[in-house]
Structure formats: structure tokens, C-alpha cells
A = this chain, B = another copy of it.
Amino acid sequence: MEGYHPYPPKHLNLSDFTPNLLSETTILGTFAAASIVLFCLTWFLSGLSSKTTKFEKLVIFWMTFNGLVHLTLEFYLVFKPEFYKDKTGSILAEIWKLYSKSDSRYLSLDSTTIALEGISIFILGPANLLAAYATTTQKSYRYPLQLSVSLGDLYGFVIYVMTAFLGGESFSASPYYFYVYFIGFNSPWVFVPLLIIIRSWRKICKLEGTNKRKLH
């Protein structure tokens, strides 16, 4: 079936489309394994400072993980917007072929997706890594940076989800991909930034409170 592909809408023209060469388990397993290695690494390294609390270690992991997702997985799209043609079985292309089944806008490259990815790659990616560094080294700007970066991620995510629904065309290949990938795998990008926003906000307010008490 020439021109066949599993992505909605059906009129999407993807010439030279090559289906996933790796199985779903292999792709997800590789991603999970890389994430676990990163978790252990950041947990160990951030633990070298005796001041770092457990929650801060988790923040450091998230900022590093999220920064690297923006700077590797998403940055890849800049060089390979036609990843759906990939025949090499490269893990990044395979991840995008799979994820696009939950949101085909990565194939049609609509203007909102490009704008959001541009900000994610060039601003939020480096800013997340800087926030991980600032948190590890207890810089005085760590809380406003955590707050700003997480607000950026959350704002972008809200626009991403809203425009998917407002676009008027179906974007998921099936309810399975919609619930497991679009909803499930994306949900950390709501809850984690929200947690970091609340915590850094409270920390900043507490600073002001401590200051006031000391001045009076």
C-alpha cells in the first residue's frame, strides 16, 4: 500500500514513510533505562553536597532530565523534521515515529508545534540545566530560576494541549495512543512543574518573611 501510514488525518501526505523498525517495548525500554541511569547519576552526584535535601535531589533530577529531553530528543527535530523516513533504526527517530501516533502534529509540523519546540529547545532546555546546576550549588537565584523554568514548561504544555483539541482535526492514531502517550506520558509535565512552582514560590515568600522578622 503505497503512501500508507498509521497517522491521522488520513490526507496527511508522508511520502517515503518507513514504519517503526524497533518494537514498542524496545523503544520504551531504552528510554526508561536511560532515564534510570540519569536518575542514579544525579541522585549520587547531588548527594555529595551534605546540604542537599531529598526533595532538592528530585528537583535536580527532573531539571536535568527535562533539560536533556529538550536538548536531545526535541533538538533532533531541528535536524530531522522528516524522521518518519528514517531507515537506520536510530532510537530518536523511532521515539518520534512512536510518539507521533499520539500527536501527528509532529509530522505535519504545524506552526504552534514549531513555536513551542523552538522555545523548549533554545530557552527551556538550557534554562533547565542551569536550574539543576543552581540548585546543586545553592545559588541565590535557584528559586526564581526554578519558578521561571517550571512556569515556562507548564505554560507551553497548556498551549500544546489546548491547540491539539482546538485544531479541529484528530491527532491520535487510536484511543490507546491518546490515553497512554498523549495523556499518560505527558502528565509528568503538568504535575512536576506544578510541584516545583508551589515549592519555589513558598521558599521565596519565606525569605521575605524571615527578612521582615529580622528587620523589625
Which residues of A are interface residues toward B (Cβ below 8 A)? 111-112, 114-116, 118-119, 140-141, 143-144, 147-148, 151-152, 155-156, 158-159, 162-163, 166-168, 197, 200-201, 204-205, 207-212, 214
* Distance to closest chain B CB from A56 (angstroms): 15
- Can you name 10 A-B pairs with beta carbons within 8 Å? A111-B166, A111-B167, A111-B168, A112-B163, A114-B166, A115-B166, A140-B208, A141-B201, A148-B197, A148-B201
Q: How far is the CB of A68 from chain B (nearest CB, A)?
A: 21
Residues of B near A205 (CB, < 8 A) are: 140-141, 144
CA distance A204 to B142 in the complex (A): 10
Q: A119: which B residues are within 8 A, CB to CB?
A: 155, 158-159, 162
Minimum CB–CB distance for A102 against chain B, Å: 18
- Give the residues in chain B near A152, CB-CB below 8 Å: 151, 155
Q: Is the CB of B210 within 8 A of A115?
A: no
Given contacts A111-B112, A155-B155, list 7 more A-B pairs with CB under 8 A: A112-B115, A112-B159, A140-B208, A144-B204, A204-B207, A211-B211, A214-B214
CB distance from A112 to the nearest CB of B (A): 5
Contact between chains at A163 and B111 (CB < 8 Å)? yes
Q: Which residues of B contact A167 (CB under 8 A)?
A: 111
The distance in angstroms between the C-alpha atoms of A111 and B201, with both chains bound, is 31
B-side contacts of A201, CB under 8 Å: 141, 144, 148
